[in-house]
Amino acid sequence: MFEKVRVRFAPSPTGYLHVGGARTALYNYLFARQKKGEFILRIEDTDEERSTEESLRGMIEDLKWLGLPWNEGPHPETLKDVGPFGPYRQSQRQHIYKQVAEELISQGKAYYCFMTDEEIEAQKEKQKAEGRPHAHLESPFADLSLVEAQKRKTAGDKATVRFKTKNLKKDYVLKDLIRGEVKFPSDMVGDFVLLRSDGMPVYNFCCVVDDHLMKMSHVLRAEEHLPNTLRQMMIYEGMGWQLPHFGHVSLVLDEDRQKLSKRRGAVACGQFKDEGYLPEAILNFVALLGWSHPEEKEIISLEEMIKTFSVERLNPSGAVFDRVKLKWMNAQHLRQKPNAELWALVNPFLVKSGVLVNQEAKWTSQALDVFKPKMEVLTDAIELFRPLSDEAFQVFPESKEVLSQPTAKGALTAWKSGLEGIGKDIMTEEDFLKIQDSVAAGAQVKGKNLFQPIRVAVIGKPQGTEVKILVPLLKVSSLISRAEKVLKEIG
């Protein structure tokens, strides 16, 4: 029996944090928090060519952004190990894997194999020619004595370490937490590599060693790891170690029900962050890709997920990543935010885009009351707020036709005159409608000859946000200045 629940998220730092990886991390985090257990971050960086420090830092930043803190692993700021079972990077644990491999060798459960890549390939071609294309490797070194093997190693011959499977003639049965009973015939695999000739461990070996030594009680991981389980069960058995509880979650699929990939657009958490999605919306969305709330709720906070999560409600079937629903869900979370909190998230996007607006709390709250219902992602604010930025104001080319109309100059002159006579710094929607009526009467215009020149004088183009909701957010002096710029365009 395991003393307590311990689970891990073990990414490879060879790229970005994929939304599928974020879902795996979330499920492990929820399970640990609900069971009062521990959530561990382990870095599987034995792929020396592809693993990078930049990728590791990016993944850690994404996990921090999502709000999924871990109990043990690299410190989120310094990357130094925190916890009693380190190192938490597999590249720093090679001495441990070597020790376990030697123990298996000494027990006759593994052996040094001196076959070259050319010999292995030649054997495969021979088996294929004999009509045995799926035959397993037959190593002539499986029964070589340890003494002889050591002599060859001392002489400089390179060897892999292989796990010996020929005596394991039985079916292995996994009681998967999500898929139920899964059977693996032992003849599915031949003698498999534990350590490469350069001493680096393969995934299945170091994964088992680390999960055991780090006292993992449960392993919740993606369905694509299911084929690895037989090899791992053999290693657990070979070492006499207790098997953790396994659960293999469904794949995340695209609209064509294929495994989600970059081919269909953003799949990286960092990209969703840049596009203005909220971390709580991403978590809410990916949680429901394979799990359902007991009351079938769709908008759920992280706190509620922790309370209601259970592996029993994880679905083994693939879940389709619906980008339209993600955007809808983001909008729901966005609109629940208090204006002050939302402004702190929106403003950096505005500043980055050169949309500089009033920063007074009263004004920003008033503006968000107007625009929040129109926003689905934070970046929507850029174009919504752009008309309110004096620095961003310009007369767009599409205004040329409107301004060329014979009645345009008269309408705009009357509009400017009405603004100058209002006697207020800020006008109300009612004030605007009164001025608009006076322009219609004084300049003898109506319809688009009335509305379009005024819209150009406010936002620089004849189509866009309804003017009456914008003018209460703009100073009258700003509106006058804009009207003057437009009149200069007419000449």
pTM over 0.85: yes
Which residue type occupies 62? D
Strand (E) positions, 149-234? Answer: 160-163, 171-176, 180-185, 192-195, 218-222
pLDDT given for residue 1 in this prediction: 80
Tell me which residue of 148, 188, 186, 144 sits closest to 162, measured CA to CA: 144
If residue 468 lies in a helix (H) or strand (E), which one and from where to where? Answer: helix 467-470
Give the model's confidence band at 305: pLDDT under 50 very low, under 70 low, under 90 confident, else very high: very high
- What is the predicted pLDDT for the residue at 264? 55
Return the CATH number of the domain spanning residue range 397-490. 1.10.10.350
**Closest to 389 (Cα-Cα) out of 363, 408, 415, 425:** 363
| Residue 171, SS3 per DSSP | strand
pLDDT digits (tens, 9 = 90+) for 140-152: 999 999 999 999 9
Residue from 4, 151, 262, 352 carrying the catalytic annotation = 262
| Listed residue (89, 110, 97, 104) closest to 46, CA to CA | 89
| Confidence at 266, pLDDT banded by 50, 70, 90 | low
Q: Please give the C-alpha separations between residue 182 and each of 71, 246, 408, 420, 489, in angstroms, as whole numbers.
A: 32, 11, 77, 80, 75
Rg (CA), the chain: 32
Residues 6+ apart with CB under 8 A from 250: 178, 223, 289, 290, 314, 315, 316, 317, 318, 319
Mean pLDDT calculated for residue range 29-51: 95
Fold adopted by 6-90+252-320? Rossmann fold (3.40.50)
**For position 465, what pLDDT does the model report?**
85
**In 240-357, which ranges are continuous DSSP H helix?**
269-274, 279-287, 302-308, 323-336, 339-352
Percentages of the chain per state (helix, strand, coil), in multiples of 5:
50, 10, 35
- Is residue 262 among the annotated active site residues? yes
Most confident segment among 238-247, 431-440, 441-450: 238-247
197-200 long-range CB contacts below 8 Å, 24 or more apart? 197/158, 197/159, 197/160, 199/94, 199/98, 200/46, 200/48, 200/94
Most confident option among 244-248, 423-427, 467-471: 244-248
Residues 6+ apart with CB under 8 A from 59: 11, 13, 16, 17
93-249 folds as Rossmann fold (3.40.50)
User: Percent of the chain at pLDDT above 70?
Assistant: 99
pLDDT at residue 265 tops 70: no
Angle at alpha carbon of residue 401, lines to 396 and 404, rounded to 5°: 110
Rounded to whole angstroms, the Cα distance separating 368 from 278 reads: 17
**Residue 487 banded pLDDT, cuts 50, 70, 90:** very high
Fold of 337-388: Helicase, Ruva Protein; domain 3 (1.10.8)
Give the residue extent of every domain in the chain. 6-90+252-320, 93-249, 337-388, 397-490
Residue 263: per-residue pLDDT: 54
**Token pair in block for residue 98:** 């070597």
Cα gap 436→415, rounded to integer Å = 7
> What pLDDT was estimated at residue 306?
98
Same fold, 6-90+252-320 and 397-490: no
Q: Which two tokens stand for residue 410?
A: 């008269």
What would the mean pLDDT of 151-159 be, rounded to a whole number? 96
**CA 131 to mean position of chain CA atoms:** 45
Q: What is the pLDDT of residues 381-401, one digit of tens each?
A: 999 999 999 999 999 999 999
State residue 61's pLDDT score.
Answer: 97
Closest CA to 378 of 272, 299, 277: 277
Indicate the average pLDDT of the chain: 94
